[in-house]
Amino acid sequence: MCFGLQISTRGGIYMVIRNVNQRSYAAALIVFILIMAVGNSARAAGSECEPENLDGPASIERIHLGAGKGEGYRMTYCIDVSLGVYWQFKTDFSNEFLTDNPHIDAHRFVGRQGNVVLTENRYNHDNKRLFRWQTNVYARNHRLEFKLVNPEQAGQEFHSGTIRLEARGNRTVVHQTARFRFSGATLWAFYPWRGGMRSFLTAFVRWEQQTAVA
């Protein structure tokens, strides 16, 4: 230790102590900065499950794919159940509870081959149109990839997306993205009131947040 050195003058001892204190202070400051950085990173990673950090029940961001290329969205929200419980809920394709969703009039499980599932929905905004969805299920990383396989019949050009789940303690973070194109898609994506994209997605999220924990 520096304090064990034999220094003959009082001023010399002071200089050694001051230098040691400066070095100790610098080291402590570096450690403090690192701790704060790690803490901020952890808080940022957990922010999706902090209600005060969400814009309502979900964080919804519009993605513009470019002129004539369609629209999309990026959405993050939390479910108050564990990842395992929510995964079972999300992959129960032959369920009857989907018709309790305020936007879905009818749901039918068509079939499954390996990790590929086919389902059909009719939505109440236009229940004469049939939406047939293909969902690829990747249980290992809790990921779903969905695609509309009858876009013309559903009045769209294309619609596809991904859903990725992340455990956050006893809660689950849902990251969902989608891209789509149909007549009026840009207006729908921009429209801020009831009937627009944000309203539609928010209603879905609220329903899931209530139904998955029931």
How confident is the prediction for the chain on average, in pLDDT?
A: 81
CA triple 178-192-68, angle to 5 deg: 45
Determine the pLDDT at residue 57: 86
pLDDT in tens, 68-79: 789 999 999 999
If one compares 9 and 62, the residue with the highest pLDDT of the two is: 62
Going 167 to 169 to 172 to 173, the CA torsion angle's sign is negative
CA triple 107-115-108, angle to 5 deg: 10
Rounded average pLDDT over 180-194:
94
pLDDT in tens, 79-109: 999 999 999 999 999 999 999 999 999 999 9
Determine the pLDDT at residue 67: 77
If one compares 124 and 34, the residue with the highest pLDDT of the two is: 124
Q: What is the pTM of this model?
A: 0.74
Instruction: Return all residues near 136 (Cβ < 8 A) that are at least 6 apart.
Output: 115, 116, 117, 144, 145, 146
Determine the pLDDT at residue 16: 36
**Distance between CA 91 and CA 157 in Å, rounded?**
26
Determine the pLDDT at residue 55: 54
Determine the pLDDT at residue 64: 86
**Distance between CA 214 and CA 211 in Å, rounded?**
5
